[in-house]
Structure 1
Amino acid sequence: MAPRQRMDDMNKPETPETPQHRGRPDSKAGPIALFLQVLRFYSRLPVPPLGFEPAPHARPDLRRGFWAVPLVGAVIGAIGAGAGGLAYLAGLSTAVAAALAVAAQVIAAGAFHEDGLADCCDGFWGGATPERRREIMKDSRIGTYGASALALALALRILALTELFRLIGPGAILVLVAVGALSRPLALLPVAVIAPAPGPGMAAETPMPGGLALVLGCGIGFALFAGLAMQAGLSAGIGPAILAALALVALVARLAEKKIGGHTGDVLGAGQQLAEIGLLLALSAAANWQGPL
């Protein structure tokens, strides 16, 4: 499913033509089935339906399966780590290794979150009223604000990762997995503090994780992030990185409430991108504080 279609899934009513809408969340799905549903939703990886899955194409029930979000994020981060690590070990420059790592993640996830960031920037600053902003966000075309935001976001991710490869070498691949595991659950925190944006859309109709599910999912993400960051020798950056990511997600939530009256799938995608950037920048700063290993 194309990234535009998947992000629009969170913003428009259900239609039978959309593969992601072939079934409502399956309340009987076991842990493995829930993980696979989340993996299919968050990525474009070729995950075939397995015989024991009662509804492989059902929307993931994030009330029951939010614990899988950090694990899926770690998988996507590991794909980027594999591409960047191989490039680094092959003797390519740190900038090339970083660019390939980010490209691999974008491809694996189908530019899922990048699409949300672009839509939010176009809508938030391209319309004069909440209704017009929401209308712009559903438009498949990308505008100047969205294109500029994408370029800046990709540049910041690549530059921060370039510094990490330069300063901590192969340890940067652990950072990619850590950031992937934490940025995705953090991106859904706005659902706990602001309501869905007005109007029909799956953000309003899809069961979202409640307090306990958010605590569990974010707790798993925090544990993975802290453990991998320590393994990479960046213990001093753990606290600042988490604070930076939380502050940026809070900023997205505040802007969404002010600009469009609540959260949408695009808002959650934008939150993931800013959380990832905050984590990478803080860890690269920590690596600079301590100097090359």
Structure 2
Amino acid sequence: MSEQIERGGRATGSAWQAFAIDLAHCIRFYSRLPVPALPWEQDAHALPSFPRLVRVIPLAGLVIGLLPAAVLGFAMLLDLGPWLAAALSVAAMVLTTGALHEDGLGDTADSFGGTTIEKRLEIMRDSRIGSFGASALFLALALRIGALATLAARVDGEVAIAAVLIVASLSRTAGLMPLVFLPPARRDGLSQAVGQPARETFWFAAGIAGAIAVVLGALAGLPSAGIALMLVLSGLSGLALTRFAARHLGGQTGDIAGAAQQVAEIAALIGLLTVLEA
């Protein structure tokens, strides 16, 4: 049945058109991928509405993970070695996202230099990076490359590709948790402007992300314990960053969501590695 859904200043003609618009907006927001304007879109670059986009974020994560996964698989096929393959894959992800999540992690780490909530929020808005932020970025990149290199050394290219896609979907879904379960820390921040997603919509997205992990993992032959650990650890990472933000900032910001994605990505990869034979 056709339904009229208002989006970007124009009512779309059907539910699938609204879904396609939401997915396009989500990929544009989370990445630098050149997504063309859809025929029924009025404004392809309008500020997205997160209450609507949450449901498609697991699928957007899959799309965003395609290039890094392909780079990892191709580098392994060329026998470039696990470390170079992993570094190329992480570089592809950073280029694909425009370092969106890395920026959030760096700003969040720099906020440790503030002694009050107000000072921490002020530091997070500063575009300059400090010693905390630089250290966090270095460690996060090292952990991601190290985890992918270990993965590439233990499994075939097809399995590694599936793992990258699963992590790309799970980690971006986990990154939503602070936005869903906490109020905005600022009244004039981006997280306030894009709206707070409903918890019911988040749980729907979490179910989709979980289904993606189970299906892709099963098709690739990943151990069920590894898939379970990826699900559990990515969720626990999102929860941990949510609780941290509540105490540290009194609410959530977009930077916290970016930091949650980075931590969830690392945790999910390490969880998978703990059950893969060396």
TM-score normalized by structure 2? 0.91
Q: Report the equivalent of 1:148.
A: 135
Q: Does 1:231 align with 2:231?
A: no
Q: Report the equivalent of 1:21.
A: none
User: For 1:107, which of 92, 95, 104 is the aligned residue?
Assistant: 95
Ranges in structure 2 where 5+ consecutive residues have no aligned partner: 1-6, 13-17
Which amino acid in structure 2 is aligned with residue 61 of structure 1? Answer: S
Relative to structure 2, which stretch is displaced further, 134-143 or 63-72?
A: 63-72
User: For 1:137, which of 112, 115, 124 is the aligned residue?
Assistant: 124
| 1:59-98 matches, cutoff 5 A | 59-98=47-86
Q: Does 1:268 align with 2:252?
A: no
SS at the partner of 2:151?
helix
Contact 1:88 1:94 in 2 (8 A): yes
Q: Distance in 2 between the 1:222 and 1:88 partners? A: 27
User: For 2:33, which of 45, 59, 67 is the aligned residue?
Assistant: 45
Which amino acid in structure 2 is aligned with residue 259 of structure 1? Answer: H
Q: Distance in 2 between the 1:26 and 1:279 partners? A: 38
CA offset digits 1:62-88 (Å, max 9, x no partner): 222322111111111111011111111
Contact 1:117 1:267 in 2 (8 A): yes
Closer, same or farther: CA 28–285 of 1 in aligned 2, 3 Å:
farther
In the TM superposition, residue 27 of structure 1 has moved relative to its aligned partner by 7.4
CA offset digits 1:191-216 (Å, max 9, x no partner): 33221103421212322220221011
User: For 1:279, which of 251, 268, 273 is the aligned residue?
Assistant: 268
Q: Distance in 2 between the 1:69 and 1:221 partners? A: 9
Contact 1:25 1:61 in 2 (8 A): no
CA offset digits 1:135-169 (Å, max 9, x no partner): 00000000111111111111111111111111112
Q: Distance in 2 between the 1:89 and 1:26 partners? A: 46
In the TM superposition, residue 179 of structure 1 has moved relative to its aligned partner by 0.5
TM-score normalized by structure 1? 0.86
In the TM superposition, residue 218 of structure 1 has moved relative to its aligned partner by 1.2
Tell which has more relative contact order, 1 or 2 (C-alpha 8 A, sep 6+).
1
User: For 1:116, which of 75, 99, 104 is the aligned residue?
Assistant: 104
Q: Report the equivalent of 1:14.
A: none
Q: Distance in 1 between the 2:20 and 2:209 partners? A: 18
User: For 2:149, which of 155, 162, 165 is the aligned residue?
Assistant: 162
Q: Does 1:217 align with 2:189?
A: no
In the TM superposition, residue 51 of structure 1 has moved relative to its aligned partner by 2.8
How many residues of Structure 1 are paired with residues of Structure 2 in the alignment? 265
Which amino acid in structure 2 is aligned with residue 261 of structure 1? Answer: G
SS at the partner of 1:286?
coil
Contact 1:26 1:61 in 2 (8 A): no
Contact 2:8 2:42 in 1 (8 A): no
- Aligned CA RMSD, in angstroms, stands at 1.6
Closer, same or farther: CA 219–260 of 1 in aligned 2, 3 Å:
same
| 1:228-267 matches, cutoff 5 A | 228-232=216-220, 233-267=222-256
Closer, same or farther: CA 154–52 of 1 in aligned 2, 3 Å:
same
Q: Distance in 2 between the 1:182 and 1:211 partners? A: 17
Ranges in structure 1 where 5+ consecutive residues have no aligned partner: 1-23
In the TM superposition, residue 234 of structure 1 has moved relative to its aligned partner by 2.6
CA offset digits 1:7-48 (Å, max 9, x no partner): xxxxxxxxxxxxxxxxx9657451111111111101001122
| 1:3-18 matches, cutoff 5 A | none
Q: Report the equivalent of 1:208.
A: 196
Q: Report the equivalent of 1:194.
A: 182
